[in-house]
Amino acid sequence: MDKLKKFLQENKNQKLALFNKKIISTDFQIYGVALPNLRKEVKVLAGNGVTFAEVKPSSLEEVLAKGLLLSYEKDVKTVLQGLKSMLSYFDNWCAVDVIVGSLKKLNGKDEAFSFFKKCLTDGDEFVVRTGIIGLMKFFAGEKYIKESAKLISEIKSQLYYIKMAQAWAFCEFFIKNFDIAKDYFLQIQDKDVKKKTAQKCRDSFRLSKEQKQFITSLT
């Protein structure tokens, strides 16, 4: 849409764009607009009645804006349908993590749990990552953490962004419920995932020194 494209043109940053291209592998154009600035613009657009359906992305920032606009939808069913329609735009970790993490209306919703669970069985690297991030963000509470941890522990993949998502998720599970996370962490067969999890846990300020040492000992 014209307003969004005008904003991107006026706020693009070549230095940031070059940096982002180094850490985000995507087929989409990158303007180099800082995420906090993009979030503010999306809030303005949403306040003016712009919906996610109106954005036809041709750049990474437009993909992000489309997904962030989805977070302003009030109906859970609409959010889920919108997220499903966006899966084809997910060719990088940034789009998945920023967009899925913003959809807080999905927190604890059974239909969302079913959606993310189904994503785990997809053949696409970033659809699987969508499932992992969704379970980690919204289904690590008491009701769901056992099943979420079990599902993620059973994923077997050699794809980098899936492994990294598994490690991130288990770090969060350890923070939420150490004993449950430990039980399912022990079932992970992939040594890379275990090592990456331990590294993330060592970097965390939310785990004790003793907990970090114990997790490392399990790798």
- Cβ atoms within 10 A of the Cβ of 73, count? 19
121: which DSSP letter? T
At 189, which amino acid appears? Q
Question: For the whole model, what pTM was predicted?
Answer: 0.96
Instruction: Report the C-alpha gap between 181 and 43 in whole angstroms.
Output: 36
The closest of 215, 143, 144, 147 to 185, measured between CA atoms, is 215
For position 1, what pLDDT does the model report?
A: 66
Return the residue matching tokens 């990474």: 60
Residues facing 29 on adjacent strands: 59
Q: How far apart are CA 32 and CA 65, in angstroms?
A: 13
Angle value at C-alpha 139, between 178 and 131, nearest 5 degrees: 110
d(CA 105, CA 17): 31
Residue-level pLDDT, tens digit, the chain, 219 residues: 689 999 999 999 999 999 999 999 999 999 999 999 999 999 999 999 999 999 999 999 999 999 999 999 999 999 999 999 999 999 999 999 999 999 999 999 999 999 999 999 999 999 999 999 999 999 999 999 999 999 999 999 999 999 999 999 999 999 999 999 999 999 999 999 999 999 999 999 999 999 999 999 999
130 vs 134: CA distance, rounded Å? 6
Q: What is the pLDDT of residue 23?
A: 97
pLDDT at 2: 84
Contact status, residue 64 vs residue 99, Cβ threshold 8 Å: yes
- The answer to whether the CB of 194 falls within 8 A of the CB of 219 is yes
> Letter for the amino acid at 161?
Y
Per-residue pLDDT, 32: 97
